[in-house]
Amino acid sequence: MTAGKVERMEKVNIAIVGVTGAVGQEMLRILKERKFPVAELRPLASERSQGRSVRFNGKEILVTILNKDSFRGIQIALFSAGAVVSKEYAPIAVKSGAVVVDNTSHFRMDPDVPLVVPEVNSHKIKEHKGIIANPNCSTIQMVVALKPLHDAARIKRIIVSTYQSVSGAGAQKIQKLVDQSKEALRDFSVLAQSWKRYRSKEASHFAFNLIPQIDVFVEGGYTKEEIKMIKETQKIMGDDAIKVTATCVRVPVFCAHSESVNIETEKKLTANEARRLLSQAPGVKIIDDPTRLLYPMPINAAGEDAVFIGRIREDHTIPNGLNFWIVSDNLRKGAALNAVQIAEILIKQ
């Protein structure tokens, strides 16, 4: 096995870095569900997970503490333990002979690292030099919807507002929403108290609240999350001329991100034409019947692999505009599933 290359084989040795986290756990489930050809599974995590084990294919496997020798004999390493960890250990994994599929932000804008959504630009996988980057969860579901429309009519401009679930902030934040909701429902006066705490301490209060900040603010008043959506979309679509602006909001939903998207195209696309193109696109499921009040919702998308699209309609304020609504499970297609799909293509290639 040469470094940075997966050879054709029946089964592969695969490592999951950050296996005890929300995305790592989802990776385990998806590997099992899709019958990924695993010869050896090597679950890796930090010292905080010392003594823990994971269950895979009927076996309990002890979690190994991540170190520089963790990748010996590994062909594919799935990383989801934070950008700092990926920065240090992804090059070590590649040097050990593995191909890294990294779910963190660290390598995404590196010009030498492919940023891949299989339904959009799977051809980029073969250009890897040992590391392939998984895009941001919000970007993934959006570009799956944009790809067929861009191919047909070329998108000039995108305006996106996201409604992102707390699972995108990690398992601890999910529990925080549970606890805050229980507290507020026991005593509605707590809500007012919580608002006072929020104003005075700028704490994250998820329950019954919307927070128009995901990640830190940068120059110009945007957040890093919004800048990710702008730059990653251009890189994945292979078109820096596409103008993108984003507003990203955390909402009190446990799982699945929603997005309101407005696009302007060079060529006119009617709502029916867009609906037809999207219905034929890989990874997409259309739910769009206003007469029956059918449209995508996060409560229905959680646990599903598809990118759900609805509320497709023309924007009559411009000649070539479309509005639509996108919902997808951010832990699955927005993270774990996308990484596993990349790994599946690697072993086929």
**Residue 33 to residue 31: CA distance in whole angstroms:** 6
**139-165+210-329 matches 12-135+335-348 in CATH topology:** no
pLDDT, residue 191, reads 66
pLDDT, residue 190, reads 66
pLDDT, residue 170, reads 85
DSSP letter at 332 equals I
**Residue 140 to residue 300: CA distance in whole angstroms:** 19
DSSP letter at 166 equals G
pLDDT at 1 exceeding the cut of 80: no
pLDDT, the chain, mean: 93
Assign 194 a pLDDT band (cuts: 50, 70, 90): low
Catalytic residue among 128, 137, 150, 255: 137
pLDDT, residue 195, reads 63
DSSP letter at 289 equals B
**Residue 185 to residue 208: CA distance in whole angstroms:** 10
Share of the chain above pLDDT 70, in %: 93
pLDDT, residue 197, reads 63
Contact predicate 192/291, CB 8 Å: no
**Region class of 79: left (phi > 0), else alpha (psi between -120 and 50), else beta:** beta
Strand order in the sheet with 284-286: 243-250, 155-164, 257-265, 321-328, 307-314, 284-286
Average pLDDT over residues 240-265: 98
- Residue 6 contacts by C-beta under 8 Å, 6 or more apart in sequence? 12, 75, 76, 99, 346, 347, 349
In Å, how far from its chain's centre is CA 284?
15
Whether 106 is a known active-site residue: answer no
Assign 187 a pLDDT band (cuts: 50, 70, 90): confident
pLDDT at 4 exceeding the cut of 60: no
Domain segments of the chain as ranges: 12-135+335-348, 139-165+210-329, 171-201
Assign 199 a pLDDT band (cuts: 50, 70, 90): low
**Residue 234 to residue 178: CA distance in whole angstroms:** 36
Average pLDDT over residues 303-320: 98
Q: Dump pLDDT digits (tens) for 111-133.
A: 999 999 999 999 999 999 999 99
**Residue 341 to residue 333: CA distance in whole angstroms:** 9
Q: Does domain 12-135+335-348 have CATH number 3.40.50.720?
A: yes
pLDDT at 172 exceeding the cut of 90: no
Whether 137 is a known active-site residue: answer yes
pLDDT, residue 9, reads 53
Catalytic residue among 106, 128, 205, 257: 257
CATH fold of the domain at 139-165+210-329: Dihydrodipicolinate Reductase; domain 2 (3.30.360)
Q: Dump pLDDT digits (tens) for 40-74.
A: 999 999 999 989 999 999 999 999 999 999 999 99
Average pLDDT over residues 288-310: 97
Assign 203 a pLDDT band (cuts: 50, 70, 90): low
